Amino acid sequence: MHAPQGGLMVAIKATLKRDLTLMLRRRGEVLNPLVFFALVITLFPIGISPDPELLASIAPGLLWVAALLAALLSLDSLFRSDYDDGSLEQLLLAPQPLAALGLAKVAVHWLLTGLPLALMAPLLGIMLSLPAGSYAVLALSLALGTASLSLIGAIGAALTVGLARGGVLLSLLVLPLYIPVLIFGAGAVQAAIFGEGIAAHLAILGALLALALMLAPWAIAASLRISING
């Protein structure tokens, strides 16, 4: 039995590296939310109307809701494979605090889900004839907002990872908690279209992220303990 080697930073770095490597080897899982995002956006003009003016007026909300659902869809796999192969138990046994290691996992999830969604959104914005001048705000608000979504969603994922069919339940738990982020995220894009100040919206999105960064890791750690020991 070796004494635990290295401090907190070593463990966080190792978790980041491991998760990044694993995710990059399963490219399908990284691409699926993006394809889902594009598909859902395709459904709206077909279901509502191809009229560019109508689409432009609802584009901010549509893009934000679709991105939110795509982020939600990817949550179930956040802890699933680690739970199945037992590496989540090793994470719990590690001498470093579970909250920090969970945060590292969430960071990788955001990097490979939230950030690509934010980068892809302007492209889909063009297809919905989103008014010019709001593209950068759309990407920025999504990049900020999806970080909060990943943190909040990870609580739900950690709570349901021990359940055989937790997918639908996960969305039921997490979606109500997503509403503030949706309001200010879509609000930022709307404000940019109407030429109003966007700083307030982005500041509140940042505040929500700060709050989630502070509190969510503890809830994630507690939930993982419940799911593993139960």
Partner 1 sequence: MWAFINKLRSPKWFYAISAKLQPLFWVAATLLLLVGTVWGLAFAPADYQQGNSFRIIYVHVPAAFLAQSIFVSMAVSGLVFMVWKIKVADMVATVMAPLGAAMTFVALFSGAVWGVPTWGTWWMWDARLTSMLILLFLYLGVIALRGAFSSRDSGSRAASVLAMVGVINIPIIKYSVDWWYTLHQPATFTITGRAAMTMDMWAPLLIMVLGFYSFFIALTLMRTRSEILRREANKRWVRELAEETN
Q: Which of 10, 179, 199, 203 binds partner 1 (CB under 8 A)?
A: 179
When the beta carbons of 139 and 205 are compared against partner 1, the nearer one is 205
Q: How far is CA 77 from CA 22, 81, 214, in A?
A: 12, 7, 23
3-state DSSP assignment of residue 143: helix
Q: Is 150 in the site for partner 1 (CB under 8 A)?
A: no
Q: Which stretch binds partner 1 (CB under 8 A): 36-44, 86-94, 101-109, 158-166?
A: 158-166
How many residues sit in the footprint of partner 1 (CB under 8 A)? 27
Residue 43 CB, nearest approach to partner 1 (Å):
23
| Buried-state track 52-86, b at ≥16 Cβ within 10 A, e below 16 | eeebbeebbebbbbbbbbbbbbbbbbbbbebbeee
Degrees, nearest 5: CA angle 101-104-109: 130
Q: Is 122 one of the binding residues for partner 1 (CB under 8 A)?
A: no
- Exposure string of 204-213, with b = 16+ CB inside 10 Å and e = fewer, is bbeebbeebe
CA distance 125 to 110: 21
Single-letter amino acid, residue 10:
V
The smaller minimum CB distance to partner 1, of residues 79 and 184, is found at 184
- Is 9 or 172 the residue whose CB approaches partner 1 more closely? 172
**Backbone angle region of 196, left / alpha / beta, with phi > 0 → left and psi within -120 to 50 → alpha:** beta
Near partner 1 by CB under 8 A: residue from 113, 184, 189, 202 = 184
Question: Per-residue contact track with partner 1, 190 to 229, x per CB under 8 A?
Answer: ------------------x--x---x---x--xx--xx-x
Closer Cβ to partner 1, 112 or 208, answer by number: 208
Cβ-based nearer residue to partner 1, 33 or 187: 187
Q: How far is the CB of 24 from partner 1 (least distance, A)?
A: 31
Q: How far apart are CA 72 and CA 194, in angstroms?
A: 29
Residues that bind partner 1 (CB under 8 A): 155, 159-160, 162-163, 166, 169, 172-173, 175-177, 179-180, 183-184, 187, 208, 211, 215, 219, 222-223, 226-227, 229-230
